[in-house]
Every structure is written in structure tokens, then in C-alpha cells.
């Protein structure tokens, strides 16, 4: 194969089009605004009249008058105001009734029975009509509850290529090389597939996924009538192309239920809150260009593809039903509408790790939560108290980054979960936003006491440090309480006589491509 070097412009470099020569689409404008918010959070509070020149500075090639920009911003639900009648879908979310006893049966963790219970709220209660309640008191740092593993181990989509090459675990996606797992260890423990390059990082991962892998990838174990390998490969590639994480996860859950006969998994999944993706798509206003702001919207196709979101989901369902033809003939067939319900159910219950944890799915949101969760390398989730919790208190976690500004938090909750938070922190910040504390890094604090020319100078420096330390907000306390803060860059940092390395970029990238 002959290669040649081709130089291309970076995707974030300045465009070469003449100024004012491009008519941007509404979606492009929305993406530009959200990306600016992500990169410069302080711009969230700017009025549209102030935001417009910032957007035009990044896109001088756009022909976008202020009036058009304002209209598009309102059309795309980008105006951060409760009076703007933004679309919310919290009333459309369905919460299956579940008793505490049924919760314990599905959880299968003895500790959860001793520590937490499920409480049913009135149907008109905001943000969900069920809650996770502490059965006893917990001190700061105590473990409240835990799940031994996700409801279903979803292979990370961004590592599918590495997994197919045997560079990452086919089940959990853990890197083989960085985990110091040698080929000898893999061979002696039977952690490789004899039909392809797939490997597993442990016997647990192999046991968890082997039957599914054999059926989906190699059509073994008499699953020919239940699974179509050819269509699975096509479905997997389609999900990769459009980053349909939720659709891929639903297919994995279906595979474990049909092939491995894991009915317990199906019962756990059906007990979670659900809403149709058809409804959620109405709240989505970007193509996730803002990163985690729309991490689970899963509704907008990438701007580089011409298909509409509806066409993308319709094609995904067609491939899904071809992979599992049995779902169309059983007593309750998985129709297109039910498929969209499954998609929405996964999206509103998943974590940032793109996994579902049963116990965690019952905890409601608060921007000042009393609990947080940790997931270890084995996939075990632990729910920990971040402040004292009394018996009978509701356990809250945060669905968003607590360090985000209030408008960013509200937007993320609206898009991903369908509601606007009305906790005390959000109310106070919306009514009278407090100035962000500033952490000052002084050159005198970076210098060592040994460099002082005299004892008196050392004493003066120590007194200055002490007074500055008393006025400076505590970093650990800010992080603990989820407050935003700025770090000032010192004007004359004490870096000695050493010259700092300088790196320059010209907006181009060179790559090797095949000759045509």
C-alpha cells in the first residue's frame, strides 16, 4: 500500500471563507453557543446582545445579524430563563411502582436491606415520585449502599476497535497493555477467543460475556434462529457511525436476556424510570458539541451526516429487529415505540461511565447532595455519605457537575433529564448570584524561606503568608461544597533563570493517506 503525505487544516482553525459569506443553520448556531459556554463558562450569564459578538469573533464567515441570532437562540431553547417556557418532560417520565421488598429482591445485596428503603411520593411530586431513604444514620464518609456490578456490562463504544484487535478487554474495555496483562497470562488462563482476536482481562469478564460474544460474533451455541451475526456487525458499525450509545446498550441488554437467559437483568431494567426518546428529542438542541452537557441526549445525528434524527433511529430499530428476530414474535413484541422507550430509559438512568446501576437509579438529584458514588476497577459501585445523614432522610446525588455555573447545571438537567432543579442552592444563585471566590497564588508563597536574606525578612514573609492564608478560601472546602472558583495566574512567577519551553501551532496537520 502506497502512502502520501497530505496537509489539512485543523477542524478548529479559522475558516478560509470570506467574511459574511455563509448562512449558518440553526443547529450550527446552537452548537457554537454551547461550545462557547463549555469553553468559557463565564459567558453563560451574558445577554444575547453581548453573546452575539463573541460568536461572530469565532465565526467571521457567518452572515448572522443580531435579530436572526436572537430568534435562533430562542428557537433552540438557549435562552436561560424560566419565563421562556422551555420544554420540560419531567411529567412524561414513568416511574414503575416498586416496594422496598421488591427492591431488595432485585438488588440482591444484603447491606441494602439494612441501610436503605424505597419511599413512594405523591404522583404530582416534582422530579419523580419515588426516593431512596436512609434507614439509619450515617456519618460523613460512611458507605450507604452498593451494587456489586452494573445491571449489564456495556462494552465502551469508543473502544470497540481496540477490542476487535485484542488491545482491550472485550467485556469491560480495560486496556490490555496498560494493565500489564501478558500474552502468556492470556493464553494460560484461556482468556482469548479461538475464533477472532478478542481477549478478556480476567476470568470474570470472560465468564460474563463469553456466551454473548460467541453468539453475536460467531453464531455459536445453537443461536442461529435467535441472533443474526451478519446484521449484528452491521448494527454495531451503524451505532459507531452515529455514536448511538443507548441503542447499542439496549441491544446488549437484549442479548443477555435472550441468549444468556438473564431474566433478572430484564426485571431490573423494567423497574427503572422510563421516557420515550421521541419526547426527549424535543429538548435536545445541540449535537453534543458541548461535551458532557448533552452526554445522554442521544437524539441528534452528527452535522456531518444528512439524515434526520428520526431517520437514524428508524434505521437503528430496523437493524436491531433483524439482529433479534424473536423480539417481533413474542407475546409482547418490541415495537419501534417500545424501542424508543428503552432508549429513553437507558439515557435517563445511565452514569457518566455509560453503565446502569440499579440502586443508584433510585436516588434523586440535588445540587448540594448528601451522598456521592464511587465505581472501582471491578465495576462495583459504592454510595457514600458526603455529609451526616439522619435516619429517615432522603439520599440525594448530583446528576451534573456541581462546579458548573447555575445556568449550565439547569440546561444540562433540562436536556438530559427533563426538569429544572429548584434546590436551595439553585434558587439563591438565580436570585442573587454570589461573586466567585478567587484563589490567589502569590510568588512569595512559591519561594522557599531559605532564600530570605535575613531572619527579619523571613518573619515578615511568614506574616504575609499567614494573613494571605487566612483570607484565602479553602480549596478542599470549595470542592467539597461544589462551589465555583477562579485561580489567578501570578504576574511574575518565580521560575528562576530557566527559560520556559514555547510551542507554536499553525492550524494545520499532516497525515499519511493512501494514494488514489
Average pLDDT, the chain: 79
**Could you tell me the three cell numbers for 347?**
439515557
Distance CA 104, CA 77 (A): 40
- Is residue 232 domain-resident? no
- Both 416 and 377 in one domain: the answer is yes
Angle among Cα 394, 407, 43 to the nearest 5 degrees reads: 150
Residues 423 and 450 in one domain: no
Query: What is the rounded distance in angstroms from the CA atom of residue 198 to the CA atom of residue 367?
Result: 42
* pLDDT the model gives residue 52: 92
Beta bridge partners of 512: 5
Cα(407)–Cα(257) distance, integer angstroms: 40
Is the pLDDT score of 252 beyond 90?
A: yes
Tell me the pLDDT band of 87, cut-offs 50, 70 and 90. confident
Whether 180 and 205 map to the same domain: the answer is yes
Decide which of 221, 244, 263 is a domain's last residue: 221
- 17-26, long-range: CB < 8 A, 24+ apart: 17/61, 18/61, 19/60, 19/61, 20/60, 20/61, 20/62, 20/63, 21/61, 21/63, 22/59, 22/61, 22/62, 22/63, 23/62, 23/63, 24/59, 24/62, 24/63, 24/64, 26/72, 26/75, 26/76
Number of domains in the chain: 4
Under DSSP, is residue 145 helix (H, G, I), strand (E, B) or coil? Answer: strand
Task: Tell whether 40 and 107 lie within a shared domain.
Answer: no
Among left, alpha and beta (phi > 0; psi -120 to 50; other), residue 131 is beta
Q: Same domain, yes or no, for 454 and 512? A: yes
Residue 371's DSSP bridge partners are 385
pLDDT exceeding 70 applies to what percent of the chain?
72
268 lies in some domain:
no
- Terminal-residue alpha carbon distance, the chain: 11
Q: Is 139 exposed, middle or buried (CB count within 10 Å of its CB: 0-12, 13-18, 19+)?
A: exposed
Inter-residue contact 226 to 259 (CB < 8 Å): yes
Last-in-domain residue among 221, 246, 273: 221
Q: For residues 300 and 304, give the distance between their C-alpha atoms in angstroms, rounded to a whole number.
A: 11
Reduce the DSSP state of residue 4 to 3 states and report it: strand
Residue 243 lies in a domain: no
Q: Report d(CA 213, CA 208) in Å as an integer.
A: 10
Give the pLDDT band of residue 449 (cuts 50, 70, 90). Answer: very low
Same domain (yes/no): 442, 516: yes
DSSP-assigned letters across all residues of 22-68: B---HHHHHHHHHHHHHH-GGGGGS-HHHHHHHHHHH-TTB---HHH
C-alpha cell belonging to residue 507? 492550524
Segment 255-293, tens digit of pLDDT: 998 888 888 899 999 999 999 998 888 777 655 544 444
What average pLDDT does range 228-253 have in this prediction? 91
CATH number at residue 420: 2.170.270.10
> 412 and 385 in one domain?
yes
**pLDDT tops 80 at residue 16:** no
pLDDT, one tens digit per residue, over 354-375 is 899 999 999 999 999 999 999 9
Coil, strand, or helix at residue 214? helix
**Number of helices followed by number of strands (H, E) in the chain:** 19, 11
Span 139-143, mean pLDDT? 94
178 plus 106 within the same structural domain: no
Asked if residue 240 belongs to a domain, the reply is no
40 in a structural domain: yes
Structural domain for 50, as ranges: 3-79
At 373-422, the pLDDT tens digits run: 999 888 899 999 999 999 999 999 999 888 888 888 888 888 889 898 99
Q: Is residue 393 part of a domain?
A: yes
Residue 72 falls inside a structural domain: yes
pLDDT of residue 445: 39
Q: How far apart are CA 54 and CA 29, in angstroms?
A: 12
Q: Which residue has the cell 442521544?
A: 298
456 and 396, same domain (yes or no): no
d(CA 397, CA 377): 21
146 against 441, higher pLDDT: 146
62 and 99 both lie in a single domain? no
- CB distance 153 to 209 below 8 Å: yes
Indicate whether 352 belongs to any domain: no
For residue 394, the number of C-alpha atoms closer than 13 Å in the C-beta half-sphere is 16
Q: Is 309's pLDDT higher than 80? A: no
Q: For residue 474, what pLDDT is reported?
A: 55
Whether 120 and 355 have beta carbons less than 8 Å apart is answered as no
Q: Are residues 510 and 453 in the same domain?
A: yes
Per-residue confidence (pLDDT) for residue 452, from 0 to 100: 43
**Residue 446 and residue 416 share a domain:** no
pLDDT of residue 85: 63
181-194 b/e with 16+ CB inside 10 Å = b?
Answer: beeeebeeeebbbe
Distance (Å, rounded) from C-alpha 118 to C-alpha 133?
6
Between CA 445 and CA 453 the distance in angstroms is: 16
* pLDDT tens, position by position, 93-137: 999 988 899 999 998 888 889 999 999 876 555 556 789 999 999
Tell which of 221, 242, 270 closes a domain: 221
Say if strands 371-375 and 143-147 run parallel, antiparallel, or are unpaired. unpaired
Question: 3-class DSSP state for residue 341?
Answer: helix
Question: Nine-digit cell at 413?
Answer: 438537567
Looking at residue 457, what is its pLDDT? 45
Give residue 440's pLDDT band: very low, low, confident or very high (50, 70, 90).
very low
Neighbours of 81 (CB within 10 A): 11
Amino acid at each position: 500500500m502506497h502512502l502520501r503525505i497530505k496537509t489539512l487544516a485543523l477542524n478548529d482553525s479559522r475558516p478560509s471563507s470570506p467574511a459574511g459569506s455563509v448562512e449558518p443553520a440553526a443547529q450550527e448556531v446552537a452548537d457554537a453557543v454551547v461550545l462557547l459556554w463549555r469553553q468559557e463558562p463565564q459567558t453563560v450569564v451574558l445577554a444575547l446582545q453581548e453573546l452575539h459578538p463573541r460568536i461572530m469573533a469565532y465565526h467571521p464567515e457567518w452572515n448572522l445579524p443580531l435579530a436572526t441570532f436572537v430568534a435562533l437562540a430562542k428557537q433552540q431553547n438557549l435562552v436561560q430563563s424560566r419565563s421562556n417556557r422551555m420544554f420540560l418532560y419531567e411529567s412524561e417520565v414513568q416511574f414503575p411502582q416498586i416496594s422496598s421488598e421488591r427492591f431488595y429482591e432485585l438488588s440482591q445485596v444484603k447491606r441494602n436491606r439494612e441501610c436503605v428503603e424505597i419511599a413512594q411520593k405523591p404522583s404530582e411530586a416534582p422530579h419523580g415520585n419515588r426516593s431512596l431513604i436512609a434507614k439509619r444514620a450515617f456519618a460523613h464518609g460512611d458507605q450507604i449502599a452498593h451494587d456489586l456490578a452494573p445491571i449489564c456490562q456495556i462494552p465502551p463504544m469508543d473502544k470497540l476497535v481496540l477490542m476487535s484487535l485484542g488491545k482491550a478487554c472485550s467485556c469491560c474495555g480495560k486496556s490490555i497493555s496498560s494493565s500489564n496483562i501478558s500474552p502468556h497470562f492470556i493464553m494460560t488462563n484461556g482468556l482469548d477467543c479461538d475464533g477472532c482476536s478478542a481477549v478478556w482481562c480476567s476470568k470474570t469478564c470472560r465468564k460474563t460475556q463469553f456466551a454473548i460474544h460467541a453468539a453475536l460474533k460467531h453464531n455459536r451455541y445453537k443461536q442461529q434462529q435467535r441472533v443474526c451475526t451478519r446484521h449484528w456487525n452491521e448494527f454495531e458499525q451503524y451505532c459507531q457511525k452515529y455514536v448511538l450509545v443507548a441503542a447499542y446498550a439496549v441491544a446488549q441488554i437484549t442479548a443477555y436476556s435472550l441468549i444468556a437467559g438473564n431474566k433478572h437483568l430484564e426485571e431490573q431494567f423494567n423497574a427503572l424510570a422510563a421516557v420515550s426518546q421521541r419526547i426527549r428529542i424535543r429538548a435536545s438542541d445541540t449535537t453534543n458539541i458541548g461535551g458532557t452537557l448533552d452526554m445522554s441526549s442521544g437524539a441528534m445525528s452528527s452535522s456531518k451526516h444528512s439524515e434526520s434524527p428520526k431517520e437514524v433511529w428508524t434505521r437503528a430499530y430496523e437493524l436491531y429487529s433483524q439482529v433479534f428476530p424473536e423480539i417481533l414474535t413474542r407475546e409482547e413484541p418490541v415495537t419501534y415505540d417500545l424501542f424508543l422507550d428503552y432508549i429513553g430509559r437507558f439515557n435517563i438512568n445511565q452514569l457518566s461511565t455509560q453503565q446502569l446501576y440499579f440502586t443508584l437509579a433510585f436516588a434523586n438529584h440535588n445540587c448540594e447532595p448528601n451522598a456521592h458514588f464511587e465505581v472501582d476497577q471491578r465495576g462495583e459501585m459504592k454510595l457514600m455519605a458526603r455529609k451526616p445523614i439522619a435516619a429517615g432522610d432522603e439520599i440525594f446525588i448530583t446528576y451534573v457537575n456541581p462546579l458548573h455555573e447555575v445556568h449550565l447545571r439547569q440546561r444540562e438537567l433540562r436536556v438530559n433529564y427533563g426538569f429544572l432543579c429548584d434546590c436551595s442552592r439553585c434558587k439563591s444563585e438565580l436570585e442573587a448570584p454570589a461573586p466567585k471566590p478567587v484563589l490567589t497564588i502569590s510568588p512569595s508563597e512559591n519561594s522557599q524561606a531559605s532564600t530570605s536574606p535575613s531572619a527579619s525578612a523571613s518573619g515578615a514573609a511568614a506574616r504575609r503568608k499567614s494573613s494571605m492564608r487566612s483570607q484565602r478560601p479553602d480549596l478542599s472546602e470549595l470542592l467539597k461544597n461544589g462551589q465555583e472558583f477562579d485561580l489567578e495566574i501570578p504576574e511574575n512567577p518565580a521560575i528562576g533563570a530557566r527559560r520556559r519551553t514555547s510551542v507554536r501551532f499553525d492550524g494545520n496537520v499532516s497525515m499519511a493517506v493512501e494514494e488514489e
